[in-house]
Structures are given as C-alpha cells and as structure tokens.
Structure 1
C-alpha cells in the first residue's frame, strides 16, 4: 500500500510505502511518485520504514524521480529504510546520489 500527503506551507510532499517495491509494484509506485513530483515540492520524502523489500527496478525509478525533482529545484529523501532495504540501497550505492536518513 502507498499513501501520500502534502503540506503546502512547508513545501513537503511525503509518500509512505508499506509493501514491497519490486518489478510488479513499480508501475503503481511510479504513478504515485510522478503525481508527487508534479506538485513541484521543495522536499519529496519517501518513507520506507514499513517497506520490507526493494529491487533494482524500484531503485531505478527512485533515481529517475530524484533527477526530476532535483532539476525542478527540490530534493528527494528516503526516510527510515529497514535493515534489509538499507542494505540493498547501500549495495546499489545510492547514498552517493540520494539522501538516505
């Protein structure tokens, strides 16, 4: 499941991911993230605290959305990935591009 919230006063859009991000779910996830990016947020936060798994296709999508948000003057943060997701992100070396907190 995905959910999204926007706080126009702070310029932050938050997307909470509560299921696996893999090739099967990336199309739905892509729609949600692109809708969030369409709001031109100063800060797009993707909360991964309850995401149990992420694969290469989802990482590719996150990097694409990051480039889109960055080119519009915003930033994307991956928040609270669990140990398994954090390890996958580390192996993919995304911390050199994305802010992971």
Structure 2
C-alpha cells in the first residue's frame, strides 16, 4: 500500500511540475522581438501564449498597478514582462534562441 501511495504522490508531483510551464513553443527570440511597449496582456498572450503572473503591486493612492509575468521554456530560457496599468512597460529575456 505504501508503494502505491508513494507512486501516486510521485505521479502527482511530476504532473504539477510539468504543468507549471506553459506552451513553450512560442517562447522564442523572434516572438520576444514582437512585443512592444504599450501592448496589453491580451496582445502579448496572443503572441506568447499564457504566462504565469510572478508579482503584482498596487498603489491605490497614485492609481498604479504593476504586474510581472513570466514565460519559461523547459531549458530555463524565459521572457519576463512588466506591465504598468495593464500595458507593457519593460521586457527582458534570458537565453532565448
């Protein structure tokens, strides 16, 4: 019984870890270069697929919302985009081909 439970836990962990990534086929240098300042998350998602929200900060007193999203490949290459009030403000990439 312990072996079955251990196997189920292992399968569950592998499923969770592999589902943490997103559709990596779109996370390329070519698509990174298509992302422009001022684009919305919806426009970026149309190019890169679904990203994972990494952080969100709100300052209600000045009406500012800053969000960070990441798109990652299995090899660790990635795209990180910062949105300010729903629009691309800055972008960065690591190890894209």
Same fold (TM over 0.5): no
TM-score, structure 1 normalization: 0.24
Structure whose CA Rg is larger: 2
Higher helix share: 1
Higher strand share: 2
